[in-house]
Amino acid sequence: MPITADEKAAIQKRYLAERDKRLRADGNDQYQRLEDKFEAFAADPYTPLTERTPVTDHVTFAFIGGGFAGLVTGARLTEAGVEDVRIIETGGDFGGTWYWNRYPGAQCDTASMIYMPLLEETGHMPSEKYAHAPEIRAHCARIGKTFGLYKHALFHTEVTALSWDDTQKRWTIKTNRGDAFTAKYVGMGTGPLHVAKLPGITGIETFGGKSFHTSRWDYAYTGGTPEGAPLDKLADKRVAIIGTGATSVQCVPHLAAAAKELLVFQRTPSSVDVRNNKPIEPGWFASIATKGWQKRWLDNFVENQSQGFPAEDLVMDGWTDLSRRIREKVRALPPTEWTPENMMAAFEDADFEKMEEIRTRVDALVTDEDTAQNLKAWYRQLCKRPCFHDTYLQAFNTPSARLIDTDGQGVEAITEKGVVVQGTEYEVDCIIYASGFEVGSDYTARAGFDLEGRDGKKLSEHWLGGMRTLHGLQVSGFPNAFIVQPSQAANLISNVPHNIADHANTISAIVAHMEANGFSETDPAPKAEAAWVELILTNSGMLIGSPDCTPGYYNNEGKGLTDKNRYALGHPGGAKAFFAHIDKWRSTGDFEGLRFR
């Protein structure tokens, strides 16, 4: 239903009022890491630590991080003939985010067909449109086995130092397990959402009951399994969950079904749209899984997220829905009126309509009127990570489940007995922190080590004014090093693995070129890096990062993009333009802008 100008003005006013309630001076600094007095929160509940002898050898390629980035890069390098890729991983196995996040109900929010990498290469058919976490974790192990990546991997190991030895033309890597080995090339896939955080509230350490972060789920306490067995040990427990982001949306229905009492502490509601998950039918899959199918699907998703009028939408989900609505509005205008201003207006109108639908959905699904009002999200859909779920809202109809809305102020304190909101103490047996992961901090602070490049220059020094790379992947003065992440590249947040998988292709092309030509080092020429950064800075940042949005990690907790944040944007032409550029760049074989020695 189109929205009138008066309705729009009223909604906009509400958006700003809700944002203002939540603005706080401390921004990102409000959170605390699972360190020091909270160190116990960080322990790995899934795999026991095993003793091993420190490693002191040499490998061709060392990759820090055993999530999708390390796995896909390792796979592509193996295909290119590199036999000794060593992945170093903090967790006890491959998986990265999918190793740690085993909370009940965890599943991918982007369709498995494009989210799970290397499906074609491993011959795996996802079981559902949105696969659950155990299947994704098993897929990570499958990639590891298929490409022989377990052989050299070091688990439960954190890199502490990484420095370039210009005489030997290799990197020296040191770890917290006493390893000191060398590698010709290094890759890093350490995030971005890997450093778990706790809310910055007092008293967390004083709580006398059980507490844990969602990325360290304690099934020994809750009962149940990541595969979906009910959390039977919670039947006599009063449980609090703090946070209502994408993680909480997925696990709340499971907690509501199991706990004697569930209190969901909310600061800002998520927008929760229809999920519509369904099994993937083998006959259908066989009919579409012809050679090159996954690339076709990936390209089609990107096409559907870009400007233009793609003929078909293969994925058909919440991400492409918004783009489709915008396109329909633009298409209704004569081509002479396809101006940037009209595009933005179409975007805004489509967003208002979408959010009205999402708020109406709350009324349709939640019985208690007050609860329904409090579950409505008053901001534009892309101000925060959009959520999709078919049972989250209904979970609040369970008699034992209660929403404790904090009117944007958040939980005040934790006491020995429970959780305090606006002076009221709620006594509970267990507190689960669904408080997310660090985002706004500097890359090197999050990675836990600082690269030391040519002439001892640190990456943190090189990036003092903001990130500087060629293609978001290579840095001048840091030879043979690759940083696998979306910034200064496609920045396709609706399908993060696509960014990573594409970088893996670039890395393997560069390494193959180096090895075939007997080169010992490569890095971007300073001029090429500067030109790339200049191009990135022409990106307006549009809605993502807008200070008008309610605070969250998309907009630097309400502070908007700082000058430094602008350096972490993507290609100004969007994901499609980046992928087209890089594909051409690596296929020509001259790797323009790189220096080879």
Q: Is the distance from CB of 524 to CB of 474 less than 8 angstroms?
A: yes
Q: Give the residue from 343, 325, 298 showing the smallest Cα distance to 490.
A: 298
Q: Give the residue from 471, 580, 476, 458 showing the smallest Cα distance to 535.
A: 471
Q: How many residues bind ligand NDP (CB under 6 A)?
A: 28
Indicate whether 193 belongs to the interface with ligand NDP (CB under 6 A).
yes
* CA–CA separation, 437 and 440 (whole Å): 10
The residues with which 566 forms a beta bridge, in sequence order, are none
* CA–CA separation, 121 and 293 (whole Å): 11
Least Å distance between CB 331 and ligand NDP? Answer: 30
Binding window for ligand NDP (CB under 6 A); candidates: 101-109, 140-148, 255-263, 569-577: 101-109
Least Å distance between CB 86 and ligand NDP? Answer: 28
The correct pick among 201, 259, 475, 484 for binding ligand NDP (CB under 6 A) is: 201
Query: Which tokens is 34 given?
Result: 């699972």
Q: Is the distance from CB of 465 to CB of 276 less than 8 angstroms?
A: no
As a whole number of Å, the CA-based R_g of the chain is: 24
* CA–CA separation, 419 and 277 (whole Å): 34
The pattern of x and - marking residues 361 through 400 that bind ligand NDP according to CB under 6 A reads ------------------------x---------------
Query: Which tokens is 315 given?
Result: 């994925």
Eight-class DSSP state of 455? G
Least Å distance between CB 92 and ligand NDP? Answer: 21
Q: Give the residue from 203, 563, 543 showing the smallest Cα distance to 386.
A: 543
Q: Is the distance from CB of 68 to CB of 497 less than 8 angstroms?
A: yes
Binding window for ligand NDP (CB under 6 A); candidates: 6-14, 435-443, 457-465, 537-545: 435-443
The correct pick among 73, 78, 175, 247 for binding ligand NDP (CB under 6 A) is: 247
When the beta carbons of 193 and 257 are compared against ligand NDP, the nearer one is: 193
* CA–CA separation, 18 and 359 (whole Å): 15
Q: CA 377, 379, 385: angle at the middle one, nearest 5?
A: 80
* CA–CA separation, 126 and 136 (whole Å): 9
Binding window for ligand NDP (CB under 6 A); candidates: 34-42, 324-332, 404-412, 567-575: 404-412
Indicate whether 109 belongs to the interface with ligand NDP (CB under 6 A).
yes
Q: Is the distance from CB of 379 to CB of 19 less than 8 angstroms?
A: yes
Indicate whether 555 belongs to the interface with ligand NDP (CB under 6 A).
no
Indicate whether 434 belongs to the interface with ligand NDP (CB under 6 A).
yes
Q: Is the distance from CB of 431 to CB of 451 less than 8 angstroms?
A: no
Indicate whether 244 belongs to the interface with ligand NDP (CB under 6 A).
yes
Least Å distance between CB 175 and ligand NDP? Answer: 27
Indicate whether 199 belongs to the interface with ligand NDP (CB under 6 A).
yes
The correct pick among 59, 77, 234, 411 for binding ligand NDP (CB under 6 A) is: 411
Least Å distance between CB 137 and ligand NDP? Answer: 13
Indicate whether 243 belongs to the interface with ligand NDP (CB under 6 A).
yes
Secondary structure (3-state) at 419: strand
When the beta carbons of 268 and 323 are compared against ligand NDP, the nearer one is: 268
When the beta carbons of 265 and 579 are compared against ligand NDP, the nearer one is: 265
When the beta carbons of 127 and 168 are compared against ligand NDP, the nearer one is: 127
Indicate whether 410 belongs to the interface with ligand NDP (CB under 6 A).
yes
Binding window for ligand NDP (CB under 6 A); candidates: 240-248, 357-365, 531-539, 584-592: 240-248
Least Å distance between CB 195 and ligand NDP? Answer: 11
Least Å distance between CB 299 and ligand NDP? Answer: 21
Please list, in sequence order, all residues whose beta carbon lies within 8 angstroms of the beta carbon of residue 151, skipping any fewer than 6 positions away.
none
Residues that bind ligand NDP (CB under 6 A): 22, 107-109, 193, 199, 201, 242-248, 250, 265, 267-268, 385, 406, 410-411, 434-437, 552-553
